[in-house]
Each structure stands twice: as C-alpha cells, then as structure tokens.
Structure 1
Amino acid sequence: MTTLFLNPLLIDDAVRRALEEDLGRAGDITTLATIPPSATAKAVIASRKAGVISGLPLAAAAFRIFDPAVRFEPALQDGDRVAPGGVVARISGPAQSVLSAERVALNYMGRMSGIATMTAAFVDRVKHTKARIVCTRKTTPGMRAFEKYAVKCGGGANHRFGLDDAVLIKDNHIAVAGGVTQALRAAKAAVGHLVKIEIEIDRLDQLDAVLAEGADVVLLDNMAPADMATAVARIAGRIRTEASGGVNLDTVQAIAETGVDMISVGALTHSAPVLDLGLDIAISS
C-alpha cells in the first residue's frame, strides 16, 4: 500500500473547529445533566457493515483534544478491511468526555471510511489491468485533504489537490484559447519546467494536435471504450492516458481494459455513502 500521511497540524485545526461547532456555547448539556463527573467509561468503535477503515487519526484527535485523559487504542490501521461487527478502536476514560467527543470522531471516520470503501470496490474491479483509480477535486469544502487521504486508504491514488498543482486544460479552456494547439502552446509558455500539463479531449480528431504539440497526460473524456482503445493504441505510450466521464462500478472494468493508465472517478468523494460505525459504551462510577 502507498505510504499514508496526514499533516497533524491540519488534523488538530479541523478537529478543534468541529468540536467547537458541536459543543456550541454551553457544551454537551445532555451529558453534563445525566452523567456524573466521576463516571468512567469503556467503549469500542465497531463497524456495522463490511468496509475499509480511514480516519483513525482524526477520531483519536477528537478525544485527545477534548480531554487528554481519554485513552484511544486503535484495533486496526487505516486501510485495513473490517467485517460487520469488527472492532475498530477501544476507548476508555472519563465518561463525560467520551460521550461529548463521540459524534465528531464518528463523523470523520464514517465519511472517510465510506470513501475508502467505495475506492476499494473500484480498485478491485480493475486489479487485472494496469489502470489506477484516482480521485478528483469534487470534494467537500474544507475536507479535501482528508477525503483524498481516504482514497489512498482504499488503494486509489490522488489527482491534483488544487488548481495550483498542475495544468489541466479542459474543454472550456480549449474553447476560449482557440483550440488544442493554442491552449498547449500558451500553457507551455506560461508555466515552469516542473509543472505537469494535462489536456482533455473528447474526440479522436483532437488527438493529432495533442501528439504534435506534446503533453504529459491526455484526458480522454466521455469516450466510448472502443474510441479509448483506439486513442491508447495511437498514443503508444508516448503520453500517459487518463479516462473520465460516466465512470461507475458497472463501466469501470471495460474502461480499464482499453489500456488507459488512470481512471478518474468523481463519485469516490462526492457520492460515497458513509460507512456505518457506532460507539458502544459501558458506564461505571
């Protein structure tokens, strides 16, 4: 598996904001009213369904930031698969703190594990090919780093993180620039030698201009698999190829079998269902 990394500064900043949002001005008034300060708790986070785990560092941060006295012990690692009923983490400490931080921890883990689970399903469908499943910028505002990390937990790869990562010339850029040739020439003249240039085409007759001018990657958008296979054959490894548009679990295998290098799937981050995780708790005084 690809090495997984999340900037701890990003984690703490995001988790603090989430806790502040949830606690409001008066704190968890339900827990404060019903649970004595002396009560302690032992709990487990368990999965109600099969899936791939992601978000453990954020869940741990939620409990740690709320109360350093809470102990969070992962039973799995991000990227691990979990069966229904499987224990993901064990938690112990002051009961008030465990209950008050619970929802923030589960919200992050449920969202991220859902993305990792969907990604793994796509990766499984194309594992007999060379194609890599990659994500897009169709992410939840403020959650991009975490959602893209979750894609990696599921065995996928990351596309650009933002508009400043690389040049991606899309159909609207081509239309305004005056054509494929003009857009590529303008991009090459404007960016540094370390910046990658990718261009999107949706017709085979645009490919000659791409091959003549050169690019690092050509994005084959909304093409039929037969046309993608023709494009891949004509490119013959001179340029990396990416497929996009209309990609789902029913279509991804045929797309991968055209020989493309990458398949970008917006659904990984904009349509993945949350993985159902729950915190089961026992209170003692």
Structure 2
Amino acid sequence: MQLAPLPRLLIEPAVRRALEEDLGLAGDITANAVIPDDHRSTVVMASRKDGVIAGLDAAALAFQLIDPQIVISRHVQDGQPVGAGSVIATITGPSRSILTGERTALNFLGHLSGIASVTGAIAAAIASTNASIVCTRKTTPGLRALEKYAVKAGGGGNHRFSLADAVLIKDNHIAIAGGDITTAIRRAKENAGHMVKIEVEVDTLEQLQVAMNEGVDAVLLDNMTPDMLTKAVAIVAGRAVTEASGGITPETAARIADTGVDLISVGWLTHSAPVLDIGLDYQAHLS
C-alpha cells in the first residue's frame, strides 16, 4: 500500500514553530557573518546508518520556508529503507539559507526516520504472523500527526489519534468509577454514540471474561505473559480485537505475535525511538 503524505496544513505549524525557536530574534548571525550573500551551494542529506526514512516533507519545508529559492531533489521516498551512506536528497540554493534551515530539517528527518526505523524492525520480526504493530498516544506534544505518520512509514498502524476517537477504559477509569469493569463498560455504552467503539484494558483472564460478557469491541491485554495471551485469545475466540501491550521489544515481539493477538501496541515507538543519524554534507560551490 502506498503511503499517503500528510497535508501541508498539518506539517507547517510544527515546522514554523521549530524554525522560530531556532532563529530567535536576530536570525542566523553565524551564516550571515561568515557566508557571502551571493554564495550558492549544493549539499546532500545522507544517512550515517541503516534505517527507514520518514519526514522528508517536513525537512523540505524547513528549507523552503527559510528561502523559496532552495531546491530539494529527493532520491528516496518516505517508507523506503536506506543503507549507511545512502544519499537521501540533494539540496541546491543560497548557502546562507541552506545553513540556516539545516538543523531544523535534520531534526525532523532524523527523529521521524528513527521512529520509522524501529517500527520497521518490529514489523519485520512479526511479518510471518497475522499481528500488526501499532503506536499509542505517547507522543511528543505538538508532533502527534508527524510521529504517527512515521509509524506508518515504518510499516506499522495507528491507535487513537485523540481521546475523541474511541472509548478506551483503562485501569484508572475502572478504579475511579468504583472498581467494577461491568459498571464502567455499561456506562460507556450508555453515553457513547453508535459509531464509537469501546475497548477495555484487562490484566487478568477473569477480567477478560467479564469484559467479553459485556460485548466490547476490543480488549487491551496488558502485561500478560505469552502463555496468558494464548489463553486470552482462546477466550475471545474472534469476538473482539485483541491488543497486547507492555514492555514489547523487537526481541519479544515475535513470541507475542505467535500467541494469535491481532495488535501489538508499543508506546516507545514514538516517545523513545533513537534518532536515525542523518547528516548534511557539502558538495560544491555554485558560481
């Protein structure tokens, strides 16, 4: 399936905020002092490590908002794996402007490619199963749309984008509602619209059975062992979507996927993925 790009309307506010933060009140005083105004260059963005690329639109926009004269030629697309040393894009234009936009562009590209890369590693580990990897709402404030897009670029899927997307009854909801799963689910059904799906978090097989008796759409199987997950999948028997969560790594994902769960949700994809090391390398001065 081809990866649909995010609308510029969703990308531009984040890129503008990042540029404003970096420019301060005086702009790039280093480039303006050191580089002649009429100097033009060609540079390339190149990956220092193997990974999966995401965030090219944000990176390109960082340069173009600084100076529309900058031209970006892409050699790969978002969602494409690259090897160490791969040239991702060639950038041509006024040298001052390129240097001014460099850090913001690389921050977006490295961060989002890092998310895509770790997502790709888990997606590859569970490729022989019927399970899919999904992210969570554990995202950087202001960057949720971009980070969830990066998960899709890595071969994953998206969980809720916001609290308004679906009902997800978690342990604290149950506790504050009186400690009874049945009561929480019935209240949700009374108050949610007919288009709203209901998921409930459980951490024991007894809680799962109660949830299934109430007819929920999905169950979040939290911190269960593979053996428990296998039993949980058997209890659900296809009547609801099953989602495993809690401490999942590329090394443990395959064993969890083998239990038959539908989804594996991983919060650290977005909140702790290491940046993919991408650099900007000078190529030539253009007369």
1:237-263, CA deviations, whole angstroms, 9 ceiling, x for partnerless residues?
A: 011100001211221111100000000
Name the CA distance, whole Å, in 1 between partners of 2:95 and 2:182.
64
Find the counterpart in structure 2 of residue 271 from structure 1.
272
The answer to whether the 8 A contact 2:167-2:199 is kept is yes
Name the CA distance, whole Å, in 2 between partners of 1:224 and 1:42.
53
Tell me: CA distance 1:263–1:2, structure 2 relative to 1, closer, same or farther (3 Å).
farther
Find the counterpart in structure 1 of residue 183 from structure 2.
182
Name the CA distance, whole Å, in 1 between partners of 2:102 and 2:60.
10
Find the counterpart in structure 2 of residue 130 from structure 1.
130
Find the counterpart in structure 2 of residue 55 from structure 1.
55
Find the counterpart in structure 1 of residue 152 from structure 2.
152
Q: Which ranges in structure 2 are unaligned for 5 or more consecutive residues? A: none
Find the counterpart in structure 1 of residue 219 from structure 2.
218
How far the C-alpha of 1:223 sits from its partner, in A, is: 0.7
Name the CA distance, whole Å, in 1 between partners of 2:217 and 2:64.
44
- Alpha-carbon RMSD across the aligned residues, in angstroms, is 1.0
Name the CA distance, whole Å, in 2 between partners of 1:67 and 1:87.
22
The answer to whether the 8 A contact 2:3-2:79 is kept is no
Amino acid at match of 2:91: I
Name the CA distance, whole Å, in 2 between partners of 1:173 and 1:257.
30
Find the counterpart in structure 2 of residue 139 from structure 1.
139
Amino acid at match of 2:104: V
Amino acid at match of 2:258: E
Q: Which ranges in structure 1 are unaligned for 5 or more consecutive residues? A: none
Q: Is the partner of 1:279 in helix, strand or coil?
A: strand
How far the C-alpha of 1:283 sits from its partner, in A, is: 3.1
Find the counterpart in structure 2 of residue 283 from structure 1.
285
The answer to whether the 8 A contact 2:12-2:61 is kept is yes
Name the CA distance, whole Å, in 2 between partners of 1:99 and 1:73.
17
1:87-131, CA deviations, whole angstroms, 9 ceiling, x for partnerless residues?
A: 100100111111110111000000000000000000011011001
Alignment of structure 1 residues 92-107 onto 2, 5 Å:
92-107=92-107
Name the CA distance, whole Å, in 2 between partners of 1:3 and 1:121.
18
Find the counterpart in structure 2 of residue 8 from structure 1.
8
Find the counterpart in structure 2 of residue 81 from structure 1.
81
Name the CA distance, whole Å, in 2 between partners of 1:242 and 1:157.
12
How far the C-alpha of 1:7 sits from its partner, in A, is: 2.2
Identity %: 59
Name the CA distance, whole Å, in 2 between partners of 1:48 and 1:4.
26
Amino acid at match of 1:5: P
Task: Flag as ranges the 4+ runs of structure 1 deviating above 6 A.
Answer: none
For normalisation by structure 1, the TM-score amounts to 0.98
The answer to whether the 8 A contact 1:40-1:284 is kept is yes
The answer to whether the 8 A contact 1:4-1:149 is kept is no
How far the C-alpha of 1:76 sits from its partner, in A, is: 0.5
Find the counterpart in structure 2 of residue 18 from structure 1.
18
Find the counterpart in structure 2 of residue 162 from structure 1.
162
How far the C-alpha of 1:196 sits from its partner, in A, is: 1.0
Amino acid at match of 1:213: E
Name the CA distance, whole Å, in 1 between partners of 2:16 and 2:147.
18
The answer to whether the 8 A contact 1:132-1:263 is kept is yes
Q: Is the partner of 1:92 in helix, strand or coil?
A: strand
Q: Is the partner of 2:199 in helix, strand or coil?
A: strand
Amino acid at match of 2:4: L
Q: Is the partner of 1:223 in helix, strand or coil?
A: coil
Q: How many correspondences in the alignment?
A: 285
Amino acid at match of 1:56: L
How far the C-alpha of 1:206 sits from its partner, in A, is: 1.0
1:21-52, CA deviations, whole angstroms, 9 ceiling, x for partnerless residues?
A: 11111111110011001100001100000000
How far the C-alpha of 1:284 sits from its partner, in A, is: 4.0
Tell me: CA distance 1:242–1:15, structure 2 relative to 1, closer, same or farther (3 Å).
same
For normalisation by structure 2, the TM-score amounts to 0.97
Name the CA distance, whole Å, in 1 between partners of 2:285 and 2:189.
63
Amino acid at match of 1:195: V
The answer to whether the 8 A contact 2:47-2:82 is kept is yes
Find the counterpart in structure 1 of residue 237 from structure 2.
236
Name the CA distance, whole Å, in 1 between partners of 2:49 and 2:141.
27
How far the C-alpha of 1:2 sits from its partner, in A, is: 5.3
